[in-house]
């Protein structure tokens, strides 16, 4: 896993993934107590950065392998990113989702051209179903984060941050990244190490699901006690990956844990001041930048917004609580 | 009023106004029945395209005039665009607003560095107050649309559309523009005439406030019967301007009138599929592209989103009605 893989992914993504802008607002600078720039990956295809990793993985396969199709386990952003990348490549995608997933997510994934295979969480193993489909149909599994070409794809977001910061004359800043399994965080960290060494990555996680923060402190991979029970569903993962953690350990500053209310507040501020739709997990880094300034250093912070796939009910809750 | 003024404005805006992207979604293409690209000026500074015109007007003044400060009548997007452009230039801005304007809008305009002068709509004339301030303090009035340098600033949005369409290989398309007084519409039309003559502008307006549609049909400036009574407040104007109408008459195809419900529906789709916060008037062009396809020609339509300054209550109404 190295910078050359990220640069190669950037070439493959050229003209396919969106280069998202860096946005700011004087109102947010005032709350943050320093200059705050936001990298809105909610504006990426399928509404999250996951399209970058999906496209990178698909485009890196040899033609014969790719033609047989790809497989992913997900009911969320990774599923949509892989499904759309496969559709754009003209190859099959099979997404394995729990039968009790929201109908809207099932419908959306199908509408992006994927075959959705539903399983019963209580009685079936998604891994067994996946292994059978891999064997029978020659599908290739695209893992959500612990996969070199996926990390390389997410790292292209970091190349853009490095370039955009340079264009603004920014050579030193903290870059706060919404962190689940660490694919985006480690990819951005590698890109910045090469292209903007004065920009340091800080992972942001939900309180109670701050395995990466604890892992960075202890020096080994720690786990979360649960996989649910927090509104930041997009970044709830059991633990960082075997590929992503060593990169984060080498390159990242201490993690920052944010509360659910801080995420809802950040969502409301993104609505008011940036005109962006952000999902709870996608608001974690912005929440850290806005409300944990005492854990940050320097006069400039850049916060990623990792996604915007939020239900109307949750979005309305954020507005009713904090858009005043 | 000509293309050279727009190109000169683009040079003055370089590094100050945002170049907004062109966004799309396969879900929206399907509803529109053709390829739909969206130009989201809600992502512009202060949440609307008005910052372009404000910056253009301020930056075109001679230094002595500018230093004395500027004046605007507005409680909406134009006020914020002028206030922020003045603040960034380091010169005073006075915004004359009705005393019964929402407190949030007054607070926001003040927070952007402007002095807000309130007047009593029933007893006072804002024009008299403005004339007095112009005389006493040497302020220069920045009109919202019927002003050459303002039109030139809004036209920079059209230069970007021309370039972005060329990058996508699009040489023919209808470009639907949210239309109030016609500053954005005429500016974009002039830019496209020069740089992308296969792209034709179509003004979009609220039903019952479709003065430009009627004016284009009759060949003379028609007026609206009222200035309120529609949720598309940002684009309710008494009539097109003496400068903007002749340009629209020469260059635009027929106007399209959209209903309030179509605007709310477009807002919900922008939330779901583009992760953008759009105000009702800002959604008029997108509503025309999505729901008035029979009034459009060709396989590609580009719709401007003119702004995103919407109250949480109105946004929630759009989601509750149409985000399913």
Kindly provide the b/e burial profile for residues B114-153, where b requires at least 16 CB atoms within 10 angstroms of the residue's own CB.
bebbebeeeeeebeebbeebeeeeebbbbbbbbbbbbbbb
Listed residue (B287, B221, B280, B302) closest to B77, CA to CA: B280
Q: Are residues A93 and A8 in the same domain?
A: no
- Give the CATH number for residue B86: 3.40.50.1100
Judge contact between B57 and B142, C-beta under 8 A.
Answer: yes
Q: Are residues B116 and B185 in the same domain?
A: no
Between residues 33 and 92 of chain A, which touch chain B (CB distance below 8 Å)?
40, 42-43, 47, 84
B26·A112 Cβ contact <8 A: yes
Cα A80 to Cα B201: distance, rounded to the nearest angstrom: 34
Q: Considering chain A, what percentage of its residues have pLDDT values greater than 90? A: 90
Q: Is the pLDDT of residue B210 over 80?
A: yes
Cβ contacts (< 8 Å) between B40 and chain A: which residues?
A: 275
Please report which helix (H) or strand (E) contains residue B38, including its range: strand B35-40
Size of interface A-B (CB pairs under 8 A): 66
Judge contact between B182 and B241, C-beta under 8 A.
Answer: yes
* Distant-in-sequence, close-in-space partners of B299: CB < 8 Å, separation ≥ 6: B34, B35
Q: Rounded to a whole number, what is the distance in angstroms from the first to the last CA of chain B?
A: 45
Of B103, B119, B141, the residue that ends a domain is B141
Query: What is the nearest CA distance from B81 to chain A, expressed in angstroms?
Result: 13
Judge contact between A53 and A289, C-beta under 8 A.
Answer: no
Count of domains observed in chain A:
2
Of A96, A125, A141, the residue that ends a domain is A141
Handedness of CA B276, B278, B282, B284 (dihedral sign): positive
- Tallying the residues shown for chain B, one arrives at 324
Please report which helix (H) or strand (E) contains residue B188, including its range: helix B183-195
Chain B residue closest in CA terms to A268: B312
Between residues 112 and 141 of chain A, which touch chain B (CB distance below 8 Å)?
112
* Distant-in-sequence, close-in-space partners of A175: CB < 8 Å, separation ≥ 6: A161, A188, A192, A199, A200, A201, A202, A301, A302, A303, A304
Q: Are residues A7 and A93 in the same domain?
A: no
Q: Are residues B75 and B223 in the same domain?
A: no
Q: Is the pLDDT of residue A214 over 80?
A: yes
What is residue B30's predicted lDDT score, i.e. its pLDDT? 97
What is residue A80's predicted lDDT score, i.e. its pLDDT? 95
What is residue B296's predicted lDDT score, i.e. its pLDDT? 98
Q: Are residues B267 and B311 in the same domain?
A: yes
A275·B27 Cβ contact <8 A: no
The predicted-structure confidence for A59-86, as pLDDT tens digits, reads as follows: 999 999 999 999 999 878 999 999 999 9
B323 touches A: beta carbon within 8 Å: yes
Q: What is the mean pLDDT of residues B310-315?
A: 95
Judge contact between A285 and B289, C-beta under 8 A.
Answer: no
Q: Are residues B17 and B70 in the same domain?
A: no
The predicted-structure confidence for A10-63, as pLDDT tens digits, reads as follows: 999 999 999 999 999 999 999 999 999 999 999 999 999 999 999 999 999 999
Q: Identify the three-state secondary structure at position B166.
A: helix
* Mean per-residue pLDDT over chain B, rounded: 96
Residue ranges making up the domain that contains A219: 3-48+147-322
If phi > 0 it is left, if psi is from -120 to 50 it is alpha, else beta; for residue A62 that is beta
Q: To 10 degrees, what angle do helices B183-195 and B148-167 make? A: 50
B108: confidence class by pLDDT, cuts 50, 70, 90: confident
Which residue among B40, B278, B319 sits closest to A315, beta carbon to beta carbon? B319
Cα B79 to Cα B105: distance, rounded to the nearest angstrom: 9
Q: Are residues A101 and A234 in the same domain?
A: no
The predicted-structure confidence for B154-192, as pLDDT tens digits, reads as follows: 999 999 999 999 999 999 999 999 999 999 999 999 999
B152: confidence class by pLDDT, cuts 50, 70, 90: very high
Q: Are residues A57 and A200 in the same domain?
A: no
Q: Is the pLDDT of residue B324 over 80?
A: no
In angstroms, the Cα distances linking B18 to A3, A204, B48, B49 are 29, 28, 11, 10
Query: What is the nearest CA distance from B43 to chain A, expressed in angstroms?
Result: 6
Q: Are residues B121 and B185 in the same domain?
A: no
Which residue among B20, B111, B277 sits closest to A277, beta carbon to beta carbon? B277
Q: Are residues A292 and A270 in the same domain?
A: yes
Q: Are residues A72 and A127 in the same domain?
A: yes
Q: What is the mean pLDDT of residues B5-14?
A: 98
Q: Is the pLDDT of residue A125 over 90?
A: no
Which residue among A43, A112, A319 sits closest to B312, beta carbon to beta carbon? A319
**Listed range (A117-131, B24-38, B143-157, B231-245) with the worst mean pLDDT:** A117-131
Residue B140, φ and ψ in degrees, nearest 5 = -110, 125
Q: What is the mean pLDDT of residues A205-227?
A: 96
Find the DSSP H helices in chain A. 3-13, 26-32, 50-60, 63-68, 77-89, 103-111, 126-137, 148-167, 183-195, 211-218, 244-251, 260-269, 284-291, 312-322
In angstroms, the Cα distances linking A239 to A80, A248, A299, A313, B89 are 22, 13, 32, 29, 49
What is residue B98's predicted lDDT score, i.e. its pLDDT? 87
Of A96, A116, A141, the residue that ends a domain is A141
The predicted-structure confidence for B219-257, as pLDDT tens digits, reads as follows: 999 999 888 899 999 999 999 999 999 999 999 999 999
The predicted-structure confidence for A188-202, as pLDDT tens digits, reads as follows: 999 999 999 999 999
Listed residue (A198, A176, A186) closest to A263, CA to CA: A176
B320·A312 Cβ contact <8 A: yes
Number of neighbours of residue A82 by Cβ within 10 angstroms: 31
B273: confidence class by pLDDT, cuts 50, 70, 90: very high
What is residue B75's predicted lDDT score, i.e. its pLDDT? 74
Q: Is the pLDDT of residue A206 over 80?
A: yes
Tokens coding B226:
């009222």
Q: State ipTM.
A: 0.96
What is residue A228's predicted lDDT score, i.e. its pLDDT? 86
Q: Considering chain B, what percentage of its residues have pLDDT values greater than 70? A: 100
By the 10 Å C-beta count (0-12 exposed, 13-18 middle, 19+ buried), B242 is classed as: exposed
Listed residue (A43, A21, A24, A40) closest to A32, CA to CA: A24
Kindly provide the b/e burial profile for residues B42-60, where b requires at least 16 CB atoms within 10 angstroms of the residue's own CB.
bbbbbbbbbbbbbbbbbbb
B315·A42 Cβ contact <8 A: no
Tokens coding A316:
């309305």
Q: Identify the three-state secondary structure at position B83.
A: helix
Q: Are residues B192 and B310 in the same domain?
A: yes
Q: To 10 degrees, what angle do helices A244-251 and A211-218 make? A: 60
Looking from the CA of B96 toward its CB, the CA atoms found within 13 Å total 24
Q: Is the pLDDT of residue B63 over 80?
A: yes
Judge contact between B296 and B204, C-beta under 8 A.
Answer: no
Cβ contacts (< 8 Å) between A308 and chain B: which residues?
A: 275
Cβ contacts (< 8 Å) between A319 and chain B: which residues?
A: 312, 315-316
Strand partners, B36: B301
Chain A residue closest in CA terms to B319: A312
Q: Identify the three-state secondary structure at position A75.
A: coil
Q: What is the DSSP letter of B176?
A: E
Query: What is the nearest CA distance from A99 to chain B, expressed in angstroms?
Result: 20
């Amino acid at each position: 896993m190295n910078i050359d893989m990220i640069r190669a992914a950037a070439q493959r993504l050229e003209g396919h993934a969106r280069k998202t802008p860096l946005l700011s607002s004087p109102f947010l600078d005032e709350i943050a107590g320093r200059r705050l720039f936001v990298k809105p990956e909610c504006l990426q295809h399928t509404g999250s950065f996951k399209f970058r990793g999906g496209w990178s993985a698909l485009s890196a396969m040899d033609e014969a392998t790719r033609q047989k199709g790809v497989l992913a386990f997900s009911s969320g952003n990774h599923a949509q990113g892989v499904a759309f990348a496969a559709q754009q490549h003209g190859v099959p995608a099979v997404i394995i989702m729990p039968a009790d997933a929201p109908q809207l997510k099932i419908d959306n994934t199908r509408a992006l051209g994927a075959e959705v295979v539903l399983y019963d969480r209580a009685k079936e193993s998604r891994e067994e179903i996946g292994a059978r489909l891999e064997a029978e149909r020659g599908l290739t599994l695209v893992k959500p984060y612990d996969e070199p070409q996926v990390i390389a794809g997410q790292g292209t977001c970091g190349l853009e941050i490095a370039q955009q910061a340079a264009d603004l004359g920014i050579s030193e800043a903290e870059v706060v990244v919404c962190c689940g399994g660490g694919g985006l965080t480690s990819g951005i960290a590698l890109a910045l190490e090469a292209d903007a060494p004065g920009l340091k990555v800080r992972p942001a996680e939900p309180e109670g699901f701050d395995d990466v923060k604890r892992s960075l402190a202890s020096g080994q991979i720690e786990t979360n006690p649960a996989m649910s029970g927090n509104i930041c569903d997009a970044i709830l993962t059991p633990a960082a990956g075997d590929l992503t953690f060593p990169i984060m350990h080498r390159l990242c500053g201490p993690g920052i844990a944010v509360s659910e209310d801080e995420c809802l507040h950040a969502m409301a501020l993104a609505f008011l001041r940036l005109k962006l739709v952000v999902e709870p997990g996608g608001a974690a880094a912005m929440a850290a930048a806005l409300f944990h300034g005492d854990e940050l250093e320097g006069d400039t912070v850049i916060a990623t917004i990792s996604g915007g796939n939020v239900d109307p009910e949750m979005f309305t809750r954020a507005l009713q609580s904090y858009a005043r």
